């Protein structure tokens, strides 16, 4: 696809904005989007500009990223609420200023070896991008040191004006920290206040964060939190205002039972009711070609993969069914 679906989707989102208000949903597409989860964190350093550029170049139609908020209120792109797993720093994003975050090496612990691409303690040779961010190693041709640091959301939006982006609001996962998700939703709304793009989706596991963001900026499409999706999936109720897509795993373990979330029937039901369906991969799911082929056959609208280069090859060889709902 070489990003052609993403370009086409961007045009559709602009052209069909009035139709979406009337009940149409341009996120329901004929061929599933190749959505680079964290920019493709198994192939490239998570949530870096280098990863996003490489993923788009490899054919990704959409970028998926995560946001946190610094001590001084700046919105940065990072999956975890701490900087420990992927960078050379330590501590919570919320305890650091933007200037402190900018000094970190966001590719410090990335390795292409083994099942865990961010395993600490390997030999230095395993971390081939380490030191580029700090100038200790030369950047690959066409890239620069800043591409390996933690970017701000504003910078990513500027660098990728024509690439659809999925933005997940993060926060600490303890039950008492719901307030942090809501605070981060408010910070995200401040960043997006003057952004007029139609190709963004905002998501969070916490429904309170999604609801608060929608209160502030209702023009942006949403993926519901866990509560909103569960209400739709289990009870047939509304997933919440502003929802354009469900972003869910294939299976989900609950109460000692494994629930099959993604099936032909659930995808078809979502389409009938006007919602797109995007899959990410939970702990029991395989982010690999056989699974991708099954999802394509289910008529999903997007696959959030950590391996966008490899997914692109499967999308090029495994055609979507001709009977997929068009919305």
Residue 97's pLDDT is: 98
CA distance 172 to 249: 20
Over residues 26-56, the pLDDT tens digits come to 999 999 999 999 999 999 999 999 999 999 9
Whether 24 is covered by a domain: the verdict is yes
Whether 327 is covered by a domain: the verdict is no
Q: SS3 of 182, please?
A: helix
Domain that holds residue 191: 4-82+152-317
Whether 201 is covered by a domain: the verdict is yes
Whether 184 is covered by a domain: the verdict is yes
Whether 272 is covered by a domain: the verdict is yes
Whether 299 is covered by a domain: the verdict is yes
Task: Output the domain CATH number for residue 299.
Answer: 3.20.20.190
Residue 8's pLDDT is: 53
CA distance 223 to 240: 9
Over residues 306-318, the pLDDT tens digits come to 999 999 999 999 9
Contact assessment for residue 74 and residue 98, using Cβ atoms and an 8 Å cutoff: yes
Over residues 223-269, the pLDDT tens digits come to 999 999 999 999 889 999 999 999 999 998 877 888 899 999 999 99
Whether 25 is covered by a domain: the verdict is yes
317 to 7, 36, 293, 314: CA distances (angstroms): 20, 19, 10, 5
Residue 17's pLDDT is: 40
Look up 120 and say whether it is catalytic. Answer: no
Overall domain count for the chain? 1
CA distance 113 to 201: 32
Whether 104 is covered by a domain: the verdict is no
CA distance 280 to 307: 12
């Amino acid at each position: 696809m070489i990003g052609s679906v993403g370009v086409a989707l961007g045009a559709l989102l602009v052209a069909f904005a009035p139709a979406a208000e009337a009940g149409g949903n341009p996120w329901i597409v004929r061929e599933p989007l190749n959505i680079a989860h964290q920019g493709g964190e198994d192939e490239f350093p998570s949530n870096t500009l280098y990863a996003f550029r490489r993923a788009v170049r490899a054919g990704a139609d959409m970028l998926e990223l995560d946001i946190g908020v610094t001590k001084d209120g700046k919105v940065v792109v990072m999956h975890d609420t701490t900087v420990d797993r992927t960078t050379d720093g330590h501590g919570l994003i919320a305890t650091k200023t933007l200037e402190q975050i900018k000094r970190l090496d966001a590719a410090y612990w990335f390795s292409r070896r083994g099942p865990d691409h961010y395993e600490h303690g390997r030999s230095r040779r395993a971390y081939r991008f380490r030191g580029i961010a700090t100038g200790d190693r030369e950047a690959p041709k066409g890239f620069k040191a800043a591409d390996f640091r933690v970017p701000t959301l504003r910078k990513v939006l500027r660098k990728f004006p024509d690439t659809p982006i999925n933005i997940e609001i993060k926060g600490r996962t303890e039950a008492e920290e719901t307030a942090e998700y809501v605070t981060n939703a408010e910070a995200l709304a401040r960043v997006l206040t003057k952004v007029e793009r139609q190709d963004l989706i905002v998501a969070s596991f916490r429904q309170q964060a999604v609801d608060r963001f929608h209160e502030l900026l209702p023009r942006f499409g949403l993926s519901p939190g866990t509560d909103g999706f569960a209400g739709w999936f289990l009870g047939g109720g509304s997933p919440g205002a502003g929802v354009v897509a469900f972003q869910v795993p294939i299976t989900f373990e609950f109460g000692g039972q494994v629930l099959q979330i993604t099936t032909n029937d659930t995808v078809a039901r979502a389409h009938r009711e006007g919602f797109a369906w995007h899959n990410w991969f939970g702990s029991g799911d395989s982010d690999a070609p056989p699974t991708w082929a099954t999802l394509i056959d289910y008529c999903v609208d997007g696959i959030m993969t950590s391996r966008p280069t490899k997914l692109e090859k499967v999308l090029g060889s495994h055609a979507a069914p001709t009977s997929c709902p068009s919305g």
